[in-house]
Structures are given as structure tokens and as C-alpha cells.
Amino acid sequence: MKPQHPNADVRMQGFAVRSTVEEALSWLASALPQFKNLPTEATPLADAARRVLASDVTSPVNVPQFVRAMMDGFALQAAATHGASTYNRLELRIVGDCFPGQPFAGSVGAGEAVRVMTGAPLPGGADAVLPVESTECEGQQLWALGEVPPGKHVGTVGEDIALGELLLCSGRVLRPQDVGVLSSIGRAEVPVVRPPRVSILLTGNELLPAGTEPTGCHIADANGPMLVALAERDGGVVVRQQIVPDDRSAILAALREEADVVLVSGGSSVGQEDHVPTLLAEHGELAIHGIAMRPSSPMGLGRLDDRLVFLLPGNPVSCLCGYDFFAGRAIRALAGRSLAWPYRQRTAVLTRKLVSTVGRVDYVRVKLARDQCEPLAISGSSILSSTTRADGFVIVPADSEGHPAAAEVDVFLYDESIGA
């Protein structure tokens, strides 16, 4: 019989031990490699932005593939402009026109010029472009009012991208400009990492579907919509979101449904109907249960078959905190993104003392006013609205008793930054 976690069954008893945040993160780091080999897939170029590139991309072509004009003006032999100025106008003859996609059929000889537009192929025989601002013309007669050296205002073959050049490396989160570059080399599809499939299970007989008006002793699900948005922000695809009754068989069946990551909201604490930790311990691995942090102390981490499982407290702020510390990190890792928190940071000065306890990590919601921040609450994990009133949060590490008034702290802003 496999050994049980000391907190496998804490119902109506309490937690025997608590892991540190560092211990939980260490377990997660050791577990992630066996889950990271998600298959790749080809996605149409139009859908590639913000996806993670699955393999290196080298260019099969030169961009551009032809010598082109980089200014509106006249293609000519640079030697024909030698000594030209507004006081020494040199006469040339216009022998044709050249437009983008419409090359000039002939060749430019000495004393000749071809009217050319930006991006048009440079006519044969020409080695420079004289900008239109440096000319005067009448009919087919052209006067050069300035000099240009050979190669001036001329784009060369492969000037932007060279044949065989390594353009983008595997693991890159594709930006809109990356998609433009891929299009320029003729890629219609892009190999990308398949996003991790996320299953969201919401336990509790008291729950009503999200968006339902609360009635009686029932409450509307708030964690489900929040977790969907968080998982999608971090690169996951939510394949399932369901309310599961407080029934062992129903919960186990839901845990085993196909997914790469399972987020379980509720059922992880000391209530009589909190079955999830015991089920995970019996049928998979309950690696972490109970963490020295506030909120989210009933948080749990483990695995079941080929999926990672995160036990998130049912209290909404605890759920958000636990997700950000652990589940979001895992989803970003599986999606090929940065493990770093996807929040912008800034420093601010505390308006009042922030008290914590050594040995516990605190997640403190704060309100910003210019360069100052005021703690809103360090308790009340069921008050989700505190996170909407807050501009961000401060993390107090386990080795700190807090911060005095006027201390400078790092604030993570809820207004997330895009891309990782």
C-alpha cells in the first residue's frame, strides 16, 4: 500500500503539517518536465499570433528577391548626375515608367532615366534612384538638380531577410510582427505547441451555474468564469467547466476526464464533504496539501494518471491566489510561455504598517494612489470584490514580519501585461 500524505484526510480534523511555498514550487518544478512534451500542431498564419512556435523557422527565400527602388523618383546611372545641382542642371531623357509589380521592359542607358515608384524593381542598367524632389521635368525631358552615388535609394536582394537565415526560434510567443515576417517568406501555416487542455471542476452542492441569480442558501459560481479567463490568459484551452456535486464517485469520474491540467475549486479543506484530497491520494498522488500562505492555505498539488491536478480553495480570493502561485505557472510552462507572473510591477510606498507572520507567505491586496499604496485586507478570503477594488497585490515573503509604514514595496498590478 502506497504511503499516504499526512494531510490526505483532514476532514473535521485540521492540517497536521504545512508545506512551504518553496517546497510546493520545487515539487511542481520536478513534476513539470514529464508533462511538457505536448504534441505540436499546424495553425493557419491568421491564427498564429500569441501561439508558441514549436520549431525553428529559417527562410526559404530572399526578401526581397529583386533589386528595388526605395524612393519615388527616377532610376538612372549614378554617373549621369555627377556635378548636378540647382545651379548646374543636367539634362536626361525619360524613356519609360516602372511601378511595383510592373517592371520596365527595357534597359537604362547613359543619359536616360525611368520614372520609378517606391518598391518597384530597379530597371536594368540603372544603379541609383534620384528622388523626385531633386528633379524638374517637362514632358520626356528631365533635369537632375542633385547628385546620387551608385546604390543610393536602392534595396538589394535579401536586404530584409536572407535565404537560409534563422528567423524565429522554437519557444517564441509569436507577436503580430512575427506573423507578418512569416507571411513575407510564404508561410501559410506555422508549427505551434498545442495549448494545454484545462478542465475546471467546481465542487459544492450549494453552487448555482455562473451568472445565475443567487437564491436561498445557494450561491452563484464565481470561480468558474474567473478560472476560465485566467487559464486562457496563460495559454491554456478550457475543454470543460462543470459543477460537480459533493459525491466521491462523481468527483473521481470528473477528475479522470481527458485533460492535461485539472483545476478543482473547493473541496480541499476540512469540511465533511471535502473529498478531493482523499480521492487524489487514493487514485493518484497527493504531493502537497496545506501550504504556509495566506490566503490559499488549503491549496493542494498532485497528479492523476497523465494530468496535473491543482486543488484550489473554494473561497474566491484564495482560489485566485492559489491559481496565480501554482496552477498558472504550470499552464504557462506547458504552453511554452515564461514562468514569470504575467503582471506588470511597480514600486510604491506603504501608507500604513503591513503586519505578517514569519514562516508564512502573505498575498495582500492594495489600492494605489500615485506612488503610494494602501493595504485593503490581509484576511477575508471570501471577499472577491476586494480584488476588484484593489489595483494590485504585494507578496510578503515567509522570512518577513511585514513592512513598516513608508516602506517601499513591489506591487503586482492586476492590469496584466500582454505576452510572456
In tens, the pLDDT along 383-400 reads 656 667 889 999 999 999
pLDDT greater than 80 at residue 201: yes
Q: What is the torsional sign of CA 106, 110, 116, 119?
A: positive
Q: What is the pLDDT of residue 284?
A: 93
What does the pLDDT average to over 7-35?
84
CA distances from 47 to 166, 167, 347, 417 (A): 22, 19, 36, 20
* Identity of the residue numbered 21: V
Spans of all domains in the chain: 21-38+195-334, 41-63+165-193, 68-155, 343-416
Query: Residues near 271 by Cβ (< 8 Å), separated by ≥ 6?
Result: 11, 12
What is residue 418's predicted lDDT score, i.e. its pLDDT? 38
Q: Do residues 239 and 261 make contact, with C-beta atoms less than 8 angstroms apart?
A: no
The pLDDT > 70 percentage for the chain reads 93
- Alpha-carbon distance 35 to 240, whole Å? 19
Residue that the C-alpha cell 530572399 belongs to: 62
Q: Per the CATH hierarchy, to which homologous superfamily does domain 21-38+195-334 belong?
A: MoaB/Mog-like domain (3.40.980.10)
Res 419 pLDDT > 60: no
pLDDT of residue 11: 66
**Averaged pLDDT, 332-355:** 92
**Rounded percentage of the chain residues whose pLDDT exceeds 90:** 72
Give the torsion sign (CA, 62, 66, 71, 76).
Answer: positive
* Average pLDDT rounded to a whole number, residues 69-75: 96
Report pLDDT for 3: 53
Q: What is the pLDDT of residue 420?
A: 37
- Model-level pTM? 0.78
Residue 35's pLDDT band, with cuts at 50, 70 and 90, is confident
> Alpha carbon of 150 to those of 32, 64, 80, 85: distances in Å?
58, 19, 10, 17
What is residue 131's predicted lDDT score, i.e. its pLDDT? Answer: 97
CATH class of the domain at 41-63+165-193:
alpha beta
pLDDT tens for residues 281-320? Answer: 899 999 999 999 999 999 999 999 989 999 999 888 899 9
Task: Report the pLDDT value the prediction gives residue 17, as an integer from 0 to 100.
Answer: 83
CATH of domain 68-155: 2.170.190.11
Mean pLDDT of the chain: 90
What pLDDT does 379 receive?
52
| Separation between Cα atoms, residue 31 and residue 103, nearest integer Å | 60
Query: Considering only CA atoms, which of 328, 357, 322, 345 is closest in space to residue 392?
Result: 345
Helix, strand, or coil here: 232? helix
Of the candidates 398, 308, 390, the residue with the CA atom closest to the CA atom of residue 18 = 398
CB atoms within 10 A of CB 411: 22
- Determine the topology of domain 343-416 in CATH: Beta-clip (2.40.340)
Q: How confident is the model at residue 378 (pLDDT cuts 50, 70, 90)?
A: low
Sign of CA dihedral 250, 255, 259, 261: positive
DSSP assignment of 318-340 equals HHHHHIIIIIHHHHHHHTT---S
